[in-house]
């Protein structure tokens, strides 16, 4: 027989006080939830830096439910005047390079200086593997507990374009919630670095020291995008190798033409695990902000990014409007069969379908 725990607050034969309190708080919670799903209340709470409201706001903009999308759009519009005030930093590198260890050390360094840090992740692998490389691990445990940090893993199962659009919208909400630094993290898969590059002010590439031929196997274009290359795990036996790799990268970077921003990308080493080299990386980023603010490039880059995202948003909207029309869906199916049987060409089928659109 199980012995029932008696409480001094328990009333004989009735409902316990804790039960009543529980019920009340559930009711309160339900009530609160209901109220907070309207854009105006959410905005007020987000502007006060309420992270629960921020989470709810991001869930709304990530939603595919049309009612939620409508509230999300309203919320975004009202948050826009409060956006634009953070420093947006992109961090990329292959799985295992130490991104989460680095972001944890870097994030803690910033919060110890009184800054509020938001971490958003774009994980293109999630749509392919249905699991998330970024989300599966217990990551950034200390930062998660830090009240000045906000960490949001990426939604899984979306196309990279979809995830990226939501990430841009999430940046706006984080800025409205008063976050000073927004870190966008991604693994170096597919187009993900280009996507992240197009939404950040500073782009940091994390690398490991290799077998000496450091530039081998590096994806084309990534060096041009990087504002800094940081060789991580520069500790123990690896320290010497990391410094050697850093020298090699520095020499290679000198061969690249000067960037529009007039910023010459920096190379540095760090040990994210031992929190060594983190301060230097932050001062490198503040130097960058200083240089590009002075020469006007900081604003020019953000304007260019906004123009790029305007076109991207129109393209994706047109595409989804087209493919979601029932008559297009039906006609597309029959055109695909015709193609399979060599009864039409892709061009003729496309022309036919495009003429059908509303």
Which residues bind to ligand GDP, rule: CB under 6 A? 93, 95-101, 232-233, 235, 271-273
To ligand GDP, the closest distance from the beta carbon of 198 in angstroms equals 21
Element of type H or E holding 119? strand 117-122
Nearer to ligand GDP, 192 or 292 (CB): 192
Residue located via tokens 């069969």: 337
To ligand GDP, the closest distance from the beta carbon of 269 in angstroms equals 10
Nearer to ligand GDP, 102 or 249 (CB): 102
Strand partners, 121: 185
To ligand GDP, the closest distance from the beta carbon of 231 in angstroms equals 10
- The upper half-sphere exposure of residue 18, i.e. CA atoms within 13 Å in the direction of its Cβ, equals 6
Nearer to ligand GDP, 54 or 272 (CB): 272
Phi-psi region at 12: left, alpha or beta (left = phi > 0; alpha = psi -120 to 50): beta
Task: State the residue number with the nearest CB to ligand GDP.
Answer: 98
CB atoms within 10 A of CB 352: 15
Nearer to ligand GDP, 90 or 93 (CB): 93
Q: What is the DSSP string of 196-265?
A: HHTT-SEEEEEE---SS-TTTTPPTTHHHH-SEEEE----TTHHHHHHHHHHHHHHHHTTSPPPTT-PPP
Q: How many helices (H) and strands (E) does the chain have?
A: 16, 7
Nearer to ligand GDP, 165 or 241 (CB): 241
Residue located via tokens 């706001």: 57
To ligand GDP, the closest distance from the beta carbon of 328 in angstroms equals 41
Nearest-angstrom CA–CA distance, 88 and 85: 9
To ligand GDP, the closest distance from the beta carbon of 115 in angstroms equals 21
Nearer to ligand GDP, 97 or 245 (CB): 97
């Amino acid at each position: 027989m199980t012995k029932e725990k008696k409480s001094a607050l328990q009333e004989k034969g009735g409902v316990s006080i804790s039960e009543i309190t529980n019920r009340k708080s559930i009711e309160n919670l339900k009530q609160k939830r209901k109220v907070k799903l309207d854009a105006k209340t959410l905005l007020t709470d987000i502007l006060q830096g309420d992270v629960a409201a921020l989470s709810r706001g991001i869930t709304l903009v990530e939603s595919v439910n049309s009612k939620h999308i409508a509230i999300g759009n309203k919320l975004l519009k009202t948050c826009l005047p409060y956006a634009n005030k953070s420093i947006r930093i992109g961090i990329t590198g292959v799985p295992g390079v130490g991104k989460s260890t680095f972001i944890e050390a870097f994030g803690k360094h910033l919060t110890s200086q009184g800054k509020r840090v938001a971490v958003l992740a774009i994980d293109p692998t999630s749509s392919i593997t249905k699991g998330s490389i970024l989300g599966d691990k217990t990551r950034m445990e200390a930062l998660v507990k830090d009240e000045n940090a906000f960490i949001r893993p990426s939604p899984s199962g979306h196309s990279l374009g979809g995830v990226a659009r939501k990430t841009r919208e999430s940046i706006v909400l984080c800025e409205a919630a008063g976050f000073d630094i927004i870190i966008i993290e991604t693994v170096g898969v597919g187009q993900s670095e280009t996507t992240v590059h197009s939404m950040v002010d500073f782009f940091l590439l994390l690398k490991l020291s290799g077998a000496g031929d450091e530039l081998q196997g590096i994806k084309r274009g990534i060096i041009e995008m990087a504002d800094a290359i940081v060789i991580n795990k520069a500790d123990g036996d690896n320290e010497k190798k990391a410094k050697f790799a850093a020298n090699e990268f520095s020499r290679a970077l000198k061969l690249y033409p000067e960037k529009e921003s007039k910023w010459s990308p920096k190379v540095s080493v760090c040990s994210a695990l031992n929190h060594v080299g983190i301060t230097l990386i932050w001062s490198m980023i503040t130097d960058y902000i200083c240089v590009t603010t002075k020469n006007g490039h900081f604003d020019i880059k953000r304007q260019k990014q906004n123009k790029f995202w305007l076109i991207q948003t129109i393209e994706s909207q047109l595409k989804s409007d087209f493919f979601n029309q029932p008559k297009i869906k039906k006609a597309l199916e029959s055109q695909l069969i015709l193609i399979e049987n060599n009864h039409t060409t892709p061009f003729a089928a496309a022309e036919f379908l495009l003429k059908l659109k509303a």
